[in-house]
């Protein structure tokens, strides 16, 4: 085979890589982050050492459970991952458009992945697989309530918030640690789709979110978000009303108000989608001061030399180390109930009807279990879901 033919075949073989297990379908854009408020008292990261600092950024948005060919306007979580190209290296803030998640225990993630994917026997989505998993894991109700609400289908990537979701740490120049939650709040305003609106859009355009983002940037309508943090002193974590690392709960803003940090603007589309977006590999392991990097140290050339500035201060961990999934806290329903009680009549109607359509096809015992969980959050929540399920024959 001639050399150019060999190169052509090699390029074709490597042009497409296996899709991600989750977040397979994504869109991305480049932009700039600008610091607008001083948080240097909380962190020694060079990006935040003064107002006016800037850095280039890249954001990858994604649907979560669907394959590359899935429709953008399906109900579910959206990924929201930001890479900051800082003077100290890449900082990746990887999260979703919801502030909570389905479970507390990281070992449950492979189970969640299987539950929301296609059934191995039928090769179709099976409501029993996902709802059977969620209803037997009652802390998932908070996330399920958000997904089944009007916010379950964002109108576009531009019209949704983004969250780091997990609890992170900030360490300042004196070694003082604070716990932190990151919030990207859209400056375009929250806009969502009903099931009927989404179905109409999907029938005409399965790439609706991607197209909207690309065309808005091409028009010069650059999407913007404001970055905020909630900051908790390290000592508060011991006595807070629930475990501050519990990913199924939010910190109340009355306890820890939002503090503005900076502005994120996306203003440039990728030149090569495969190279810039598909091959992007954002990871929580990409952190600036406070986390070290791998390598061999010492060596003869000074590479990977130890840098104490990048180390976090030690923590008191006690005498017993074991798998930890917060089972001592069985308050699964307070926050989903609080969220439900914030909804107006129309939002509640959408929640009931969206839930009924989504759960239809699951076993009766699964539907009853979900109704019971909703009822523990608020009796009206359970009653509304039951009535909607009965109306369409889901129960």
Query: Does 310 reside within a domain?
Result: no
- Give the relative orientation of helices 364-377 and 127-135 as an angle to the nearest 10 degrees: 40
Residue 316 confidence (pLDDT) above 70 = no
Please state, in angstroms and rounded to a whole number, the distance separating the CA atoms of residues 112 and 164: 19
Annotated active-site residue 96? The verdict is yes
pLDDT digits (tens, 9 = 90+) for 243-279: 899 999 999 999 999 999 999 999 999 998 888 888 7
3-state DSSP call for residue 152?
A: helix
Check if the beta carbon of residue 210 is closer than 8 Å to that of residue 260: no
Pick from 11-20, 29-38, 103-112, 298-307 the range whose average pLDDT is largest.
29-38
Any bridge partners for residue 27, and if so which? 61
Query: Does 42 reside within a domain?
Result: yes
Residue 306 confidence (pLDDT) above 80 = no
Query: Does 65 reside within a domain?
Result: yes
Q: How confident is the model at residue 296 (pLDDT cuts 50, 70, 90)?
A: very low
Query: Does 261 reside within a domain?
Result: yes
Q: What is the 3-state secondary structure (H, E, C) of 335-385?
A: HHHHHHHHCCHHHHHHHHHHHHHHHECECHHHHHHHHHHHHHHCHHHHHHH
In the prediction, which pLDDT does 288 show? 74
Query: Does 357 reside within a domain?
Result: no
Phi, psi of 361 (to 5 degrees): 105, -15
Check if the beta carbon of residue 37 is closer than 8 Å to that of residue 262: yes
In the prediction, which pLDDT does 293 show? 34
Query: Does 145 reside within a domain?
Result: yes
Check if the beta carbon of residue 110 is closer than 8 Å to that of residue 68: no
Kindly report the CATH number assigned to the domain that includes residue 221: 2.40.180.10
Query: Does 128 reside within a domain?
Result: no
In this structure, of 28-42, 215-229, 290-304, the range with the lowest mean pLDDT score is: 290-304
Phi, psi of 323 (to 5 degrees): -60, 135
Please state, in angstroms and rounded to a whole number, the distance separating the CA atoms of residues 254 and 250: 11
More confident site: 15 or 329:
329
Query: Does 23 reside within a domain?
Result: yes
pLDDT digits (tens, 9 = 90+) for 141-161: 999 999 999 999 999 999 999
Pick from 21-35, 64-78, 153-167 the range whose average pLDDT is largest.
153-167
- For residue 63, the tally of other CB atoms under 10 A from its CB is 25
Please state, in angstroms and rounded to a whole number, the distance separating the CA atoms of residues 89 and 61: 22
Annotated active-site residue 243? The verdict is no
pLDDT digits (tens, 9 = 90+) for 356-380: 999 999 999 999 999 999 999 999 9
Residue 179 confidence (pLDDT) above 70 = yes
**By CB neighbour count within 10 A (0-12 exposed, 13-18 middle, 19+ buried), where does 105 fall?**
middle
The residue segments making up the domain with residue 61 are 18-102+137-288
**By CB neighbour count within 10 A (0-12 exposed, 13-18 middle, 19+ buried), where does 26 fall?**
buried
Q: How confident is the model at residue 290 (pLDDT cuts 50, 70, 90)?
A: very low
Q: Which of 4, 23, 103, 354 is catalytic?
A: 23
- C-alpha angle 209-213-216 in degrees, rounded to nearest 5: 135
Q: What is the pTM of this model?
A: 0.88
How many domains is the chain partitioned into structurally? 1
Q: Which of 96, 269, 354, 373 is catalytic?
A: 96
């Amino acid at each position: 085979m001639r050399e150019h033919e060999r190169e052509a075949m090699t390029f074709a073989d490597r042009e497409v890589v296996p899709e991600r297990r989750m977040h397979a379908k994504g869109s991305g854009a480049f932009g700039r982050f600008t610091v607008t408020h001083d948080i240097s008292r909380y962190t020694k990261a060079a990006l935040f050492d003064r107002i006016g600092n800037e850095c280039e950024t890249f954001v990858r948005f994604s649907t979560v459970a669907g394959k590359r060919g899935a429709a953008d306007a399906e109900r579910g979580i959206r990924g929201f991952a930001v890479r900051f190209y800082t003077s100290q290296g890449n900082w990746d803030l990887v999260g979703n458009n919801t502030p909570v998640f389905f479970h507390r225990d990281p070992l449950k993630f492979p189970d969640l992945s299987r539950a929301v994917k296609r059934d191995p026997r039928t090769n179709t989505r099976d409501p029993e697989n996902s709802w059977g998993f969620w209803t037997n894991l009652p802390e998932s109700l908070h996330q399920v309530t958000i997904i089944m609400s009007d916010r379950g289908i964002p109108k576009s990537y531009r019209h949704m918030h983004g969250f780091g979701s997990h609890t992170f740490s900030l360490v300042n120049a004196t070694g003082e640690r604070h716990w932190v939650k990151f919030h990207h709040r859209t400056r375009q305003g929250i806009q969502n789709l009903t099931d009927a609106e989404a179905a109409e859009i999907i029938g005409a355009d399965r790439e609706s979110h991607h197209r909207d983002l690309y065309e808005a940037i091409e028009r010069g309508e650059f999407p913007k978000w404001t970055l905020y943090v909630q900051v908790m002193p390290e000592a508060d974590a011991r006595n807070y009303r629930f475990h501050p690392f519990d990913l199924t709960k939010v910190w109340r803003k009355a306890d820890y108000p939002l503090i503005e940090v900076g502005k994120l603007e996306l203003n440039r589309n990728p030149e090569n989608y495969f190279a810039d977006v598909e091959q992007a590999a954002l990871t929580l392991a990409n952190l600036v001061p406070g986390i070290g990097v791998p390598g061999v140290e010492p060596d003869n050339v000074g590479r990977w030399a130890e840098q104490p500035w990048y180390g976090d201060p030690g923590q008191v961990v006690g005498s017993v180390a074991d798998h930890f999934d917060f089972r001592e806290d069985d308050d699964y329903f307070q926050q989903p109930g609080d969220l439900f009680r914030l909804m107006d009549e129309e939002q509640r109607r959408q929640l009931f009807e969206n839930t009924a359509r989504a759960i239809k096809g699951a076993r009766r015992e699964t539907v009853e279990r979900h109704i019971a969980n909703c009822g523990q959050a608020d009796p009206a929540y359970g009653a509304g879901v039951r009535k909607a399920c009965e109306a369409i024959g889901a129960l």
